[in-house]
Amino acid sequence: MQSFVINSALDMHLHLRDEDMLKLVAPLTSNTFSGALIMPNLVPPITTKEALLSYKERIKEATKEDLFDAHLTLFFQNNYSYEFLNDIKNDIIAIKLYPAGITTNSDTGVASMDVENLRPTLESMSKLGIPLCIHGETNGFVMDREAEFMPIYESIAKAFPDLKIIMEHITTKDAIELLDKYDNLHATVTLHHLLITLDDVAGGMLNPHLFCKPIAKRPRDKRALLKAALKAHPKLMFGSDSAPHPKHKKEACGCAAGVFTSPIALQVLTQLFEEHNCLDNLNSFISLNAQKIYNLSPKTKMIKLIKKDFVVPEIYEYNNENVVPMYAGEKLSWSLVD
C-alpha cells in the first residue's frame, strides 16, 4: 500500500478560538501538527502579556499530552512601546495586524494603514526582530481588496527593510508576483485557496462552509497559488487559516466567514501534491519553509499517511459546540495512520 510520511508539519496561520470551541478544535491540529501560529483575534483581542500567557495555558490544557508547540501572536496596536515589546518578545512569534473591521473580531484593528501611523510599533518590532503578519485587505470591492492592498505591503516593506513581513492567506496572482520583489516579504497560503474559486462558493447553490475572508478569487489566481505551492516556493508556507464557527452561524443569514480544514489538511495536501506529481515538495511547503522563515526548530513528529479512502465526518462536536469541516461527508484518497 502506498504511503507518505510528513515530518514536523507546521500550520503558520490557525484560529483556535476559546472555551469549548478551543477544546474541540485544538486537538484536531495538535494530534498531527508539530506546531502552529495562533491568531490573537479573540474577544477581547490579545494585547497584554497577561492575556497572552493565560491563553497559552488554555491551549496547553486543550492539547493535553500532544507533542505540539503553540506559537502565539499579539494583536497589533500602533502604540506598543519598545519596553513592552522587548519584555514580551520571547513569548510571541509575531504580531498580527488587522485593518479595522475587515474580518472576524477585527473591529479594534488599525483604522489607518499610513506608514507614519504604524511607525511607532513597527520601528520597535524591526529593532527587536519581531515579524509582522498582516491581513492584507482594504474595504473596497470584495474581489479587489487584496489587490488594492499591494501598495501598502510595498510601502511597509520599503520603509522597514529589516522588518520581516508575512502576507497572510494570499489569494491572488498579484500577491505571488510581489513575493519576489522585496527580500523581507513572505506569505502563507491556505488549503482552501489552493482548491476553490468564487464559483465554488456562489456559482450555484451558495455553499456557506466555503465562504471565507479573503474571499476565494478567480481561476487564474488559484492557478498561480497552486503553482507556487506545488514547487514549494521558498518564501511561501502553509497556513490553513482554519477558522471554526458553529454550524448555526455558518448556515444562517449573515453567514460567518471561515473554512474549517484542520482535520483534513494533511490528507488533502497529500492528495493534491500526489495528483500533480509533487509529493517530494510537500515537506518543504508544510514545514521546512516555515522553519527557515521563522527560524524554528520544531519537535520531530513523523505522521504517516496511506493511500486508503477516508470519509470526512459530517460534523465535529464537543459539549455545546459543533463545526462542519470542508468536504464534509466526501471521500478523500489518503488517510492518517493511527
**Among the listed residues 111, 172, 168, the one whose alpha carbon sits nearest the alpha carbon of residue 139:** 111
Amino acid code (one letter) for 22: L
* Angstrom distance (rounded) from CA 256 to CA 114: 29
Active-site residue, selected from the candidate residues 241, 280, 309, 338: 241
Q: Is 338 assigned a catalytic role?
A: no
Which residue numbers are catalytic? 241
